Amino acid sequence: MKQSLLKEIIKKKTSKEEFAIVTNLNNGESEIYQPEKELSKEFKVYEKQIQIFFKSKKNGVIENTEIFIETYIRPVKVIIVGAVHIAQYLIDFAKSLNFEISIIDPRGYFASEQRFPNMQIINKWPDEAFKELDTNENSALIALTHDPKIDDPALQYALNKKFYYIGALGSKKTHENRCQRLKKAGFNQEQINLIHGPIGIKLGGKSAPEIALSIIAQLVSETYKK
């Protein structure tokens, strides 16, 4: 691989861009593919197949060719609201996945560097905390506090910004009360139905790590649906 291409790849990975490396396995020639970038003549003939690999976020060789595509996908921003015990297990599960995690909790005794080393921690109320985060429709929210003063503003923000995944911890009764508060805040039923509540897929587990596993499984599932 040419040094100039390697430098460009490192630059794009550092800036968290989405791209693919297209390589001819016969001669070792490679180049970067991005939807807005024109391919060279060597790879232009395979553009449709390259687009399919890129859009499906997959790596592999185009059938009946020697053209290999390796995709680099931007990490999904996951905002955890509530630095509770479950959050620690969530982070452990997410470490090997393509997630960029931030933690919001105004309660400094919960959201501390000691409990969450090497994590972005924002010790502010959600209305202020979200001003420090760059979010969009590819972001995800996990609300864990059970406290309406903390969870509700975060849920409202995520609904307004159309996060692709929104989940909130709590029993069915807790979620029913939450839905009623959101209705009073002006959200319609279609919007409210976007919230996964109670959060997580039904594994049957009750412990903190089991609940965290059910949440991360649901998050991964929804990530591959978008």
Q: Are residues 17 and 81 in the same domain?
A: no
Q: Decide: pTM greater than 0.75.
A: yes
Q: Are residues 52 and 90 in the same domain?
A: no
Rounded CA gap, 94 and 116, in Å? 13
pLDDT, position 95: 83
Arithmetic mean of pLDDT, 127-136: 94
Average pLDDT over the chain, rounded to an integer: 92
pLDDT, position 55: 86
The order of strands in the sheet holding 67-72 is 30-33, 19-24, 67-72, 60-61
Among 72, 90, 106, where does a domain finish? 72
Give residue 190's Cα distance to chain centre.
22
Tell me, what amino acid is at 111?
Answer: A
User: 187 with 159: CB under 8 angstroms?
Assistant: yes
Tally of CB atoms within 10 A around 14: 8
Residue 225 has pLDDT above 90, yes or no: no
Among 72, 90, 119, where does a domain finish? 72
Count how many domains the chain has: 2
Q: Are residues 148 and 212 in the same domain?
A: yes
Each residue of 144-158: pLDDT tens digit? 999 999 999 999 999
> Position of tokens 């400094």?
108
pLDDT exceeding 70 applies to what percent of the chain? 100
Q: Of 217, 212, 222, which Cα lies nearest the Cα of 87?
A: 212
pLDDT bucket at 204, cuts 50 / 70 / 90: confident
Each residue of 92-107: pLDDT tens digit? 998 888 899 999 999 9
- Structural domain containing residue 193: 76-223
Residue 130 belongs to a domain with what CATH number?
A: 3.40.50.720
Q: Are residues 55 and 113 in the same domain?
A: no
Q: How far apart are the first and last CA of the chain?
A: 33
Among 32, 47, 72, where does a domain finish? 72
Q: Are residues 108 and 180 in the same domain?
A: yes
Q: Are residues 30 and 110 in the same domain?
A: no
Q: Are residues 198 and 122 in the same domain?
A: yes
Q: Is the four-CA dihedral 79, 85, 86, 92 of positive or negative sign? A: positive
Q: Are residues 127 and 195 in the same domain?
A: yes
Q: Are residues 88 and 146 in the same domain?
A: yes
Q: Are residues 112 and 53 in the same domain?
A: no
Q: Are residues 95 and 43 in the same domain?
A: no
